[in-house]
Amino acid sequence: MLQAFSDRIRNSRWLGYLIVAVISVPFALWGVQAYFTGAAPDEVAEVNGSPISTQLFDRQVGERRQELRERFDGELPDDFDDMELRRRVLDELIDREVIAQAAASLGMIASDQRVAQMIRSQEFFQRDGQFDPELYRQVLSRSGIRPSEYEADMRRSDRVQQLQGGVMGSAFTLPSEARHLATLEGQQREVSVVRIADETLLGRVSVSDDEVRAFYDANAERFQTPRQRRVAYLELDRDALAETIDVTAEEIEAEYRERVQREEEESVRHASHILLELEPDADPERESEVRRRLEELRERIVGGEDFAELAREYSNDPASAPDGGDLGAISPGEMVDEFDDALFALEEEAALSEPVRTRFGYHLIQVTHIDEPEGPTLADLRDEIRRDLQQRQAEEFFFDRVDALVNAAYENPGSLEPAAEASGLEIRESEWMSRESGEGIGGHPAIREAAFVDEGVSEGYNSDVIELDDRHVAVIRLLEEQEPEPIPFDEVEESVREELQSAQIEELRNDWLREVRERLDAGESLDELAARDEPAISIDGPDSVRFGDAAEVAPFEPSVLDRAFALPVPDDTTRPSVDEVEHDGRPALVVVHEVEYPEPTTEHVAQFEHLLERVVTNAEMGAWMATLRSQADIEINERRLRRGARDQ
């Protein structure tokens, strides 16, 4: 039962907005990139037997999450649904793989020269408009992507673009279609709105005292006080619980030291290295020889020779050797384990490692600079740490107490006492509440729902645990009830009279609208209608309005404009198009007198040509993709799809 409850309070629904783009970072084959760590291939789906790795999938999901955070000022929306995000990302990866396979089957290729040109043209690998290998290395290392995988991905992407371009290039539109749409969009309509005010009709209605009394007597059930109830309750709130937790000075200091230590461990080191390549399965004699050569280089550096000059001359890393072995800034975890351990064991700038063996060979590592974080002092963080520790401990206590509350309330449904004792909570009593409103604990709709709708509560039993907010729950039990009582006639007499008057006004207005519409259909003009001695009508317009006019410049509210442009074009000016519409919250008539179609400008037609091209192109792509997916054998590993999904 506790697990079900925990699942409920952790899960939320997302509203469906997912307006983010994938940030892709190209890869290529460069010696230094192979030193970076990467997860083993793992399949989240297969398309015609070709896997989509969990590594690629998780990276894309992470990028989407980050973009969403940036769009929402660093925080994900409250109703963000991580599972929905994961499914959308997987759908896109499947589509990409389906297209890539179609491109391959058609013999489309991407040459080495084209792939290299694409990589060098990426702006995020450039400084001052020129490709920068160091920047390229840094971006790749922070992405945690293996170059061989990405080079293949670049080739697939280029084939996909070629094929998509061919499909999209096959779509076409006729100039006459764009001109027709531009003409329709540029149309102008002469519109009026006809209405009658409540004040005008009010003088035509009459409600007697007898009618008011008769309505009151006939609808006695409407004029009663609401049923009211009071409940006893146990309330558990993590935030309130946190405020009761004492945190010692020793605990605060220990947490501060841990934070400082974590920051120190995450300090960035700038380093250079010399690599002497060695195969992983090299024989002992060959390994001994390579290590001896590197130790000789180390002795020369210790003796005063320049590390960078020796790296340029002897290092087998083609990416860093021309730069004197410079690897730039390196964060923990970016390099393979052996390299990472040796680098971050060096505590001082200019420190030189012993020879380090990795699967690529032997490295000599020198720290060139250490970026030490300058964090806040204990005094600066004391209050923040206290709150964090209180919240952390409250989080642990909260679920333990919920467990005790759930079990005791369920096992002892006739009393709150055992649940109070088990959870350490105090039994409290609410104010009177109705089904529609309440104060205090009764201000929560979920409490009122349980108090008035839960059959168990109505029968005198404890409620289930009621979720009020994130980490905020309650259990209630009915204390007493007040039956509805009649409201005295004199307290509601005026409201009843107004209700009856409104009903009569509404009936008169509807009759009047029907009559006016019939007269307009018969050819009577608005001026002739306004001159009659009947209820004074109000005519707004006529005004010339253009399709798509902004709300701030349009003479009528959007609902009137929408209806006006939905009406058919009048046959002639003596027979306008008429329909009912809501205007200022009241029924009215919208009248379209005539329609003009100005000649569209060349620029306007061109805009619609581009719009039509996009619409037709998207339709072509959508239909083509639907066909490809229907013909593909797609298998999704639900377990791996769900693995890592989290409520943000």
Which residues have CB under 8 Å from 170's CB, separation 6+? 620
Cα atoms in the 13 Å half-sphere on the side-chain side of 172: 4
Q: Which of 453, 482, 511 is the last residue of a domain?
A: 482
Same domain, yes or no: 194 and 289:
no
Is-contact 272 285, C-beta < 8 A?
A: no
d(CA 397, CA 622): 52
| In a domain? residue 586 | yes
Query: In 3-state terms, what secondary structure has residue 194?
Result: strand
Per-residue pLDDT at 21: 27
Q: Which residue has the higher pLDDT, 139 or 94?
A: 94
Look over the chain and give the mean of its residue pLDDT values, rounded to a whole number: 79
Same domain, yes or no: 66 and 164:
yes
Question: If you average pLDDT over residues 124-137, what whole number do you get?
Answer: 73
Number of structural domains the chain divides into: 4
Per-residue pLDDT at 620: 77
d(CA 273, CA 364): 5
Same domain, yes or no: 22 and 138:
yes
d(CA 294, CA 316): 12
d(CA 636, CA 129): 42
Tokens representing 491?
Answer: 């307290």
Q: Give percent of the chain above pLDDT 70.
A: 83
DSSP 435-459: SS--SGGGGSHHHHHHHHH-HHHHT
Per-residue pLDDT at 38: 33
Outline where DSSP puts E strands in 304-439.
Answer: 326-330, 356-358, 361-371, 428-429, 433-434
Question: Which DSSP helix (H) or strand (E) runs through 211?
Answer: helix 209-218
Q: What are the two backbone dihedrals, phi and then psi, of residue 12, each rounded to the nearest 5 degrees?
A: -140, 165
| In a domain? residue 383 | yes
| In a domain? residue 364 | yes
Instruction: Please name the residue ranges forming H helices in 106-191.
Output: 112-121, 133-143, 147-169, 175-185
**Chain mean position to CA 596:** 44
Does position 491 have pLDDT exceeding 50, yes or no? Answer: yes
Structure confidence at residue 427 as a pLDDT band (50, 70, 90): very high
Q: Which range (404-418, 437-451, 549-563) has the least confidence?
A: 549-563
| In a domain? residue 422 | yes
pLDDT digits (tens, 9 = 90+) for 335-378: 888 888 898 888 888 899 999 998 889 999 999 988 766 667 77
Same domain, yes or no: 313 and 385:
no
Closest CA to 590 of 195, 185, 187: 195
At which residue do the structure tokens 């107490």 appear?
A: 401
Q: Which of 342, 371, 400 is the last residue of a domain?
A: 371
Q: Which residue has the higher pLDDT, 531 or 224?
A: 224
Q: Give percent of the chain above pLDDT 90.
A: 16
Q: How far is CA 525 from CA 313, 570, 595, in A?
A: 97, 14, 17
| In a domain? residue 620 | no
Per-residue pLDDT at 309: 93
| In a domain? residue 77 | yes
Same domain, yes or no: 365 and 383:
no
CATH of residue 280: 3.10.50.40
Is-contact 57 645, C-beta < 8 A?
A: no
d(CA 61, CA 504): 60
Per-residue pLDDT at 332: 76
Q: How far is CA 590 from CA 144, 213, 427, in A?
A: 63, 39, 61
Give residue 336's domain range: 267-371
Same domain, yes or no: 237 and 383:
yes
Same domain, yes or no: 69 and 200:
no
Does position 393 have pLDDT exceeding 90, yes or no? Answer: no
Q: Is 494 left (phi over 0), alpha (psi -120 to 50) or beta?
A: alpha
Does position 243 have pLDDT exceeding 80, yes or no? Answer: no
Same domain, yes or no: 363 and 384:
no
Maximum C-alpha span of the chain = 117
- The total number of residues shown for the chain amounts to 648
Same domain, yes or no: 288 and 313:
yes
Per-residue pLDDT at 26: 30
Tokens representing 569?
Answer: 């074009």
Per-residue pLDDT at 262: 65
Q: What are the two backbone dihedrals, phi and then psi, of residue 269, each rounded to the nearest 5 degrees?
A: -115, 135
At which residue do the structure tokens 């307009």 appear?
A: 520
Does position 540 have pLDDT exceeding 90, yes or no? Answer: no
Same domain, yes or no: 360 and 446:
no
Per-residue pLDDT at 167: 65
Question: If you average pLDDT over residues 623-636, what whole number do you get?
Answer: 85
Q: Which of 413, 448, 482 is the last residue of a domain?
A: 482
592 forms beta bridges with 191, 577
CATH of residue 122: 1.10.4030.10
Is-contact 592 519, C-beta < 8 A?
A: no
Per-residue pLDDT at 215: 92
d(CA 71, CA 20): 9
Is-contact 229 338, C-beta < 8 A?
A: no
Closest CA to 190 of 588, 585, 576, 613: 576
Same domain, yes or no: 324 and 406:
no
Same domain, yes or no: 278 and 329:
yes
Closest CA to 480 of 456, 451, 504: 451
Q: What global pTM score does this model have? A: 0.43
Structure confidence at residue 35 as a pLDDT band (50, 70, 90): very low
d(CA 273, CA 119): 25
Question: If you average pLDDT over residues 174-200, what whole number do you get?
Answer: 81
Per-residue pLDDT at 22: 27
pLDDT digits (tens, 9 = 90+) for 544-576: 888 766 656 667 888 888 888 888 888 776 788
Question: If you average pLDDT over residues 72-100, what whole number do you get?
Answer: 80
Structure confidence at residue 391 as a pLDDT band (50, 70, 90): confident
Tokens representing 425?
Answer: 């909570």
The verdict on whether omega for the bond into residue 147 sits within 30 degrees of 0, i.e. cis, is no
Per-residue pLDDT at 432: 94
Which residues have CB under 8 Å from 315's CB, separation 6+? 273, 274, 275, 276, 321, 325
Q: Which range (202-206, 224-228, 261-265, 323-327) has the least confidence?
A: 261-265
| In a domain? residue 75 | yes
Tokens representing 180?
Answer: 């027709």
Is-contact 274 363, C-beta < 8 A?
A: yes
**Chain mean position to CA 423:** 37
Structure confidence at residue 138 as a pLDDT band (50, 70, 90): low
Per-residue pLDDT at 537: 76
Question: If you average pLDDT over residues 481-487, what whole number do you get?
Answer: 90
Per-residue pLDDT at 265: 58
| In a domain? residue 604 | no
